[in-house]
Amino acid sequence: MWRRYLMWFAQEHVDFRYAEMQSILSLFEIPIKYIEKPCQNKPYWVVELPSEDCVKKIASRSILIKTCIELWATAKTETGLHENLRSSMNNLSGKWLGTDISDNSESHISPSELIERCCEGGKSFKIEVETFCKHFTMKEKVDKIEKFSYLPLKGQVKLNKPDVTLSYIEFYGVDPNNVPEHPHHLFFGRWVADGQRDLIKVHSLKRRQFIGNTSMDAQLAVIMANQAQVAPGHAVLDPFVGSGSLLVAAAHFGGYVWGSDIDFMMLHSRSRPTRVGQKVRTKEESIRGNMEQYGTKDKYLDVVVSDFSLPLWRDDLKFDAIITDPPYGVREPIEKIGIERQNYTLSEQHRSNHIPAKVEYSLPRVYSDLLAFAARHLEMGRRIVCWYPLVRDEYDAEQLPSHPCLRLVSNSEQLLSRLTARRLLTYQKISERAPAACETEHATLHNFREKYFNAGEVSRKERKERKAKELIANAYWIEQSKCKNSRDINLKE
């Protein structure tokens, strides 16, 4: 029995909504009908789904959805909303009456039947009033609630955990500097489920035991795990693991996580502390410690110090998902084992204590190796999700990294600054065998680090040096001013 629902999103990471939703729908094999085409100018979608269970499955994964509502009535005016709701109560045809967004679809279950189910049996209830881009006082909210007194609700009002929660929403656009007098759209229906927004606080880097300079934001890490379609029992790899933020998100959804990185100090929790004022790291700070903190220690396989350009994995080893954020050479160096000297040999007596030298690992080669690795080690139909840095003015979709065995299924942008951005690329494995030439093919990618600094971006070190020079200059002029004042006083005396 198809029903109509309102999917209300958080107004952030807008470009990631469709990619995350499509990944979740594909993961659970849920069909969907869009009543109107999703757009970035509205924080909501109106859709039809086969059952309420489908809605709860979607909400159990999505971190961008705030709430899901079984839609009973919608209109562009408050009067129109109440008229449509009254009409729906008496309508047994299954059609949505008087709404301007239902031109090409109709529900398979009557709104009057939905309302009747919530009103029978004396169920307790409450009505919540929400607005987007406008604030209401408590008195104004109560006045709006009392206008729904015609609903045949027979139970008692219960504000804490009622049997039925009804939601009334007014949408005033997305421009807080130009709020209209009247709402653009109004919605009313029954609350079904909330998204996973609580994970933003639970997995916040501010509360996490072990973090690094480039630890992934908790919300973005969950989005990556969703687009990789991580599910219970999956084997998940992050080949540039760093402080393990992506492992935390993957383990939350039941994946067994493994990581590798060339940075010995980071993996052994001996790197310089990231938090302000902290001198040394504590014993509890480690990737394993993070997994213990979130109760997913049983999902943690291990991490290994490894040079990604020299893979250590068996050819027949397969992963269900690869999620990673390769270094860009801005806050963390891009390195691999090597030496610039020609014909270098190491004597036998130095081998036992030898620490391999490192050279630059170019970004084009990183992405070429990464996609080639995914083509070999991903299960058929599974996904790799990775970030791709770029200078915005030079973006060209035709130049994104590619591989014959992988198909690009989503491409979302996150702005980093006025000049730079990064794109979250999701690839799905579609073939087991690639042409032999593909093994040495490089991804087409500019030198982001060089472009980043040459394009006018200023590094942290440069900002510190500039600030220090300004402080010295200010101190000099203050001192000169004091001396001048002293001379003037002496002359007067």
All domains of the chain, ordered by start, with CATH?
3-196 (3.30.2130.30), 200-344+354-454 (3.40.50.150)
**86 vs 381, residue with greater confidence:** 381
d(CA 126, CA 122): 13
Nearest Cα neighbor of 300 from 373, 378, 380, 238 is: 238
pLDDT at position 484 is 53
pLDDT at position 439 is 46
d(CA 78, CA 174): 19
What does residue 447 show for φ and ψ, rounded to 5 degrees?
A: -80, 95
103-155 pLDDT, tens digit each: 444 445 666 777 777 877 788 999 999 999 999 999 999 999 999 999 888 88
367-417 pLDDT, tens digit each: 999 999 999 999 999 999 999 998 888 888 988 999 999 999 999 999 988
Q: How confident is the model at residue 491 (pLDDT cuts 50, 70, 90)?
A: very low
- pLDDT > 60? residue 320: yes
Average pLDDT, the chain: 86
What does residue 305 show for φ and ψ, rounded to 5 degrees?
A: -75, 120
Percent of the chain with pLDDT over 90: 61
pLDDT at position 31 is 96
Q: How confident is the model at residue 246 (pLDDT cuts 50, 70, 90)?
A: very high
pLDDT at position 347 is 79
Q: Which residues of 357-382 are buried (b: 16+ CB within 10 A; e: fewer)?
A: eeeebbbebbbbbbbbbbbbbbeeeb
Report yes or no: 101 and 34 within 8 Å, Cβ to Cβ: no
Percent of the chain with pLDDT over 70: 84
417-475 pLDDT, tens digit each: 888 899 999 999 999 876 655 543 444 455 566 666 665 555 555 666 666 666 676 66
Half-sphere exposure for 39 (CA within 13 Å, toward CB): 7
Q: Name the pTM for this structure.
A: 0.86
Average pLDDT value for residue range 216-229? 97
**Coil, strand or helix at 375:** helix
**354 vs 476, residue with greater confidence:** 354
The 3-class SS string of 146-172 reads HCCCCCCCCCCECCCCCCEEEEEEEEC
Q: Tell me the residue ranges of DSSP E strands in 36-124.
A: 44-49, 65-75
Least confident range from 1-5, 243-247, 400-404: namely 1-5
**Coil, strand or helix at 275:** coil
pLDDT at position 105 is 47
